[in-house]
Amino acid sequence: MARRITHRNLPQQLLKARDALMSHFRPVLNHFGITEQQWRILRALDEHGQLEPRELCELCQILSPSMAGMLARMEETGLVRRTRVAADARRVMVSLAPQGDALFDAIAPLIDQQYRLMEKAWGKRVVDDLARALEDFIAAQDTEVPQVALPPRTES
């Protein structure tokens, strides 16, 4: 039977690659009792200092309703702190709380060590090439791609 789609299934490949990559980090996160989403939030806050929830949503690829609940739980457990912006009380800034900062300090060296182990196993070039390819693909999204013309809907 001839293939009906001739191009690779890039979304499926990206999902498989993400899952394969995360399998090397999940044991570290599980050991410390945090989820992948919580780690993405902690890492974004470490890199940026403080962010608004909407910025965290974009950086961490987490939908707003999920982010709201996650930040509430992370605040309850002392990982993050939310503070109102003095000049505009409608705005909230999120930052690492001391406990979140300490947790990040404990996890960060293990994440770096895991990256080094992967580079040793696969070659640094493979890891660097993957990072570069993803960066190039993300940057290419600034170039508009025409949308395929859709046929008229048929009544069923």
3-state SS, the chain, equals CCCCCCCCCHHHHHHHHHHHHHCCCHHHHHHCCCCHHHHHHHHHHHHHCEECHHHHHHHHCCCHHHHHHHHHHHHHCCCEEEEEECCEEEEEEEEECHHHHHHHHHHHHHHHHHHHHHHHHHCHHHHHHHHHHHHHHHHHCCCCCCCCCCCCCCCC
pLDDT score at 5:
85
pLDDT score at 2:
77
Phi-psi domain of 123 (left: phi exceeds 0; alpha: psi -120 through 50; beta: other): left
How far apart are alpha carbons 42 and 36 in whole angstroms? 10
Dump pLDDT digits (tens) for 30-82.
999 999 999 999 999 999 999 999 999 999 999 999 999 999 999 999 999 99
pLDDT band at 90, cuts 50/70/90?
confident
CA distances from 149 to 29, 140, 152 (A): 44, 22, 9
Q: Are 71 and 94 in contact (CB under 8 A)?
A: yes
Q: pTM of the prediction?
A: 0.86
Amino acid identity for residue 92 in this structure? V
pLDDT score at 31:
98
pLDDT band at 105, cuts 50/70/90?
very high
User: In this prediction, what percent of the chain has a pLDDT beyond 70?
Assistant: 99
Residue 54, C-beta contacts closer than 8 angstroms, at least 6 positions apart: 64
